[in-house]
Amino acid sequence: MIPVQGHEGQTIAVLGLGRSGLSTARALRAGGAQPVVWDDGQRGREAAEAEGFALRDLARPGALDGVALLVTSPGIPHLYPAPHPAIAAAYAAGVPVDNDIGLFFRSYATEDWGLFSAAPRVVAITGSNGKSTTSALLHHILTEAGRPAQLAGNIGRGVLDLDPASDGEVVVLELSSYQTELARALTPDVAVFTNLSPDHLDRHGGPGGYYAAKRRLFAEGGPDRAVIGVDEVEGRSLANQLSVGPADDRVIRVSSGTKLAGEGWNVFAKKGHLAEYRKGRQVASADLRGVAGLPGAHNHQNACAAWAAARALGLGPRQIEAALHSYPGLPHRSQRIAEEGGVAYVNDSKATNVDSAAKALAAFDRIRWICGGLEKEGGLEALAPHLGRVAKAYVIGREAEHFALQLTGVEVEVCTTMERAVDRAMAEAQPGETVLLAPAAASFDQYDSFERRGEDFMAEVRLRLG
């Protein structure tokens, strides 16, 4: 646990008592603060009460009297589409609002660091797609290279559940836009921006607000090094804003599919080959085609971002390349679960938006595609260039018929349930094809998480394969 510093003896309110909320309350208490907590759900309140925390309905008049800080969980809106009533009350009362990420960055460093031979460092990774894989991959690279490392944030443990820092340790944080948009302190040593595509637009008031939430990690934090994916205009703009000139190697530009020229520090992958350039000259390379845990161009972009961050931390190219080949991949992200009769089965349930599903489709040649769910804003037009790879689509979800109508130019079967979709796809799959779950939609119409959806897919496949 990371005890929260700077609030000894103060009353601190905690709103939302899921994983991060309860962790925050414990860390506040460990640091000498007096937390009062609330969750709109009874289960969260009961869990907190069982640990001895004082409950207080933070939206009631006067509930924030004497409160020095309100700490809110990431999923609770603080601006769009409308602030939670407790947060609106904090604004009116002048009570500062923060989240666990802000508390972490203010509390991680301690006096003990003066005894370390090498200061601990923090790498924070954000973006629309690929941030989980990039975070887990970087953690794997560091561990394989013998560097002490911890993984937390939007993946793994909550940030305040981390162990106190050790000598030379690296903390790798995956941060969502929900986490970066509100944290009052953001001071990573290395910050990574993978890419940007439309997502969570209702929460951020549109694409500009979504980009602004991601950009805060760099604008507020002032990292020593910034790794920026430049395959979209937002990344190119961000890299330009952070750099003082073409040769500024504090910015490492990353791309998948484009050779990056110039005098700066560039890492890119093209046709399965990764190349690192500095000052206009190639200094390292790696063949990604045989890396089983990172299939497809989108994962090659993740490999480039993790490579760049690892190099910024001082690791050597051969150390990184060896670790790439031993990376097992993350569950529900291009996860190869079986192969039988020449047919491969891949679980990419994390492909919850159109952009990530398009990248999943681009990774395979002939696909039996299981898709559908709770549609997000923007429609499915961005999938059109990749539908030529699809032998047939099997659509699930409560709105399967509406989803299917948007898939023009490809054979479609409305299945509604995962059971029927897997049954039909496996019955029709031919050698050389891939049965791919890449929904291009959220899971909440049928499942409580993308993980449960992926687990259902895997269970149905394994049931039939025996």
Consult the annotation and say whether 131 binds a ligand. yes
Q: DSSP secondary-structure letter at 401?
A: H
Consult the annotation and say whether 129 binds a ligand. yes
CA–CA gap between residue 129 and residue 199 (Å, rounded): 10
Sheet holding 434-437, edge to edge: 335-340, 343-347, 434-437, 367-371, 390-396, 412-416
Burial of 305 (0-12, 13-18, 19+ CB in 10 A): buried
CA–CA gap between residue 361 and residue 367 (Å, rounded): 8
Consult the annotation and say whether 127 binds a ligand. yes
Consult the annotation and say whether 128 binds a ligand. yes
Sheet holding 265-270, edge to edge: 149-153, 170-174, 121-126, 190-193, 225-229, 251-256, 265-270, 273-278, 281-287
Of the candidates 79, 108, 74, the one whose C-alpha atom is nearest the C-alpha of residue 91 is 79
Cβ count near 93 (within 10 Å): 13
Inter-helix orientation angle 19-30/100-107, to 10°: 40
CA–CA gap between residue 75 and residue 78 (Å, rounded): 9
Tokens of 330: 């993350």
Instruction: Please enumerate in sequence order all residues whose Cβ is within 8 A of that of 329, keeping only pairs 6 or more positions apart, or say none.
Output: 133, 292, 293, 294, 335, 336
User: From the centroid of its chain, how far is CA 256?
Assistant: 18
Instruction: Please enumerate in sequence order all residues whose Cβ is within 8 A of that of 208, keeping only pairs 6 or more positions apart, or say none.
Output: none
The 3-state DSSP class for residue 450 equals helix
Instruction: Please enumerate in sequence order all residues whose Cβ is within 8 A of that of 416, keeping only pairs 6 or more positions apart, or say none.
Output: 395, 396, 397, 398, 400
Sheet holding 97-98, edge to edge: 54-55, 34-38, 11-15, 67-72, 97-98
Binding residues for ATP: 127-133
Binding residues: 127-133
